[in-house]
Structure formats: C-alpha cells, structure tokens
Amino acid sequence: MKARLYGLPGSHPTMAVRGMLELKGVEFRRVDLVPFLSRVIVRRGMRLPQNTVPVLAIDGRRVQGSREIARELDRLRPEPPLFPADPERRLAVDEAERWGEEELQHPIRQLSLWAMRANRAPIHSYMGSTVMGVPAAIGARLAPAFIARGVRLNEATDEAVRENLAALDSALGRIDGWIADGVLDGEELNAADFQVGASVRLLLTFQDLRPLIEGRPACHLARRAVPDYRGDAPPVFPPAWLEPLRSAAGG
C-alpha cells in the first residue's frame, strides 16, 4: 500500500498523520504545499470539503483531516490499531483525540504563526529541501507574506497568543493527567497520542518554551510520538507572557 501525504511546512496535524503512517508501516511520500495556494489546491483541485491539510491520498481516494485519516488508516490496515477495542478505553481515547484536535491544535497554530511573523529567521528550518518543487531558500523568502495572511486568518493576535501561553500549563496538565491514567503514552501509541503529541512536539521547537515543558510527561509523549520535528526557533515570546508557564514550572 502506497500513500501520499499532503501537508504544509511546520504543520502539526500533518506530523500527527506522519507518525500514524510510520506506526502502520505504510509507505508514503510527503508533499508540502505552498501556504494559501494549498487552499485552492485542496478545495478546488482535490474537491475536498475543507481547505486544510493534512490530506492523505491512499487506496484510490483522498481523505482529509487528521481524525478522519486515523480512522481510515485503521480501516485499511487494522494492525497495529490506532484505537483500543475495549469500549471504555475507546471513549477515553476518542475524547483525548477530540480535545487535541478541537482545543489544543489551534492555540498552538496561533502561537507558531505569531512567532514566525515576529522573527522570520527560523522559517527555513521548518521547511524541507523543497516546497512544491520550490527550493526552501526561495520559499523562506516568500514565506513572510503567507505568514502575515495566516496570522490574520487564524486571528493570531498578541492578545490571543498571550492568553494561549497563560493557558498552556493547564493544557499540559490535562495531558499529564491522561498519561497518568493510561489513556495516553501507554504501551502502544494510539490516535490521541499522535494528535496531542504532535502539537506538544511543535511547542518543543521553540527555544523559550522547551525548557518550561522539558521533563513533563507530556514532553516524553511528544518526543515518543514524533521523534523528529523539523524546526528550531530562538526565543521570541515576551518574557511577561511566559511568566504563568515559568512560575508553574517552578522557575
């Protein structure tokens, strides 16, 4: 079985799907689209209902959305499963996955878009060698215009980002709790591990967030679910915005 994974540079749900494909041992090729052009390609070119990635082309069809893809992968290749068979455990994994997609993913998207607009220097580190055939060096030069639009579309305002940073300790606490309860980071990785882990893994690419997350169970999960995540951003967030996370981390 061969697949093609359409994503965007730095996209955390794309990395979640990449982890699932690797777990399943499905051979795939990743294709990163150009931001915003991706909307037209996905919506008009591929005739999909949303304008977002990830999109997985597999078994003659295209599946859009990280949660839909997880279910389709389990259908096409049941072993190893991404969802537990036990109904109670399944409910818990479904809820952690839902929360990861609906509540965690977007604030982290806002943080990273805001950060890339504040300092464009690390943009190239989030890219592969090419983006839709365009060399990364050229892509990185064009990226700020796309990022500025992404900031607007995703409402990655100072206020939102400050609030997201203030809420981060509680979000990480929730993940740590699920890990303690055996819902996440168990013996076998599940769909929620990839969903949540990829978001935390993106946070770990930020030098000013990394030391405040390192050592937490959520950090262990992120590194396990997504061992390598392209990108490394120097400190960018105003220290006052990091204070809630810093004091929760005991520093």
Binding positions for ligand GSH, rule: CB under 6 A: 8, 11-13, 36, 38-39, 51-54, 65-66, 101, 105, 109, 153
Tokens of 222: 């992120």
Distance (Å, rounded) from C-alpha 127 to C-alpha 99? Answer: 27
Report the residue closest to ligand GSH, judged by CB.
Answer: 52
Least Cβ distance, residue 207 to ligand GSH (angstroms): 21
Tokens of 15: 């990395």
What does residue 80 show for φ and ψ, rounded to 5 degrees? -70, 145
Least Cβ distance, residue 187 to ligand GSH (angstroms): 25
The secondary structure element, H or E, covering residue 163 is helix 158-180
Least Cβ distance, residue 67 to ligand GSH (angstroms): 6
Asked, as a colleague might, if the bond just before 239 is cis with ω within 30 of 0, I would say no
Least Cβ distance, residue 38 to ligand GSH (angstroms): 6
Q: 58 or 216, CB closer to ligand GSH?
A: 58
Q: 175 or 216, CB closer to ligand GSH?
A: 175
Cα separations in angstroms, 65 against 83, 111, 185, 250: 17, 21, 22, 37
Distance (Å, rounded) from C-alpha 183 to C-alpha 86? Answer: 12
Least Cβ distance, residue 239 to ligand GSH (angstroms): 27
Q: Are 43 and 85 a contacting pair, CB within 8 Å?
A: no
Q: 19 or 54, CB closer to ligand GSH?
A: 54
Instruction: Identify the three-state secondary structure at position 55.
Output: strand
Q: 54 or 197, CB closer to ligand GSH?
A: 54
Q: 198 or 244, CB closer to ligand GSH?
A: 198
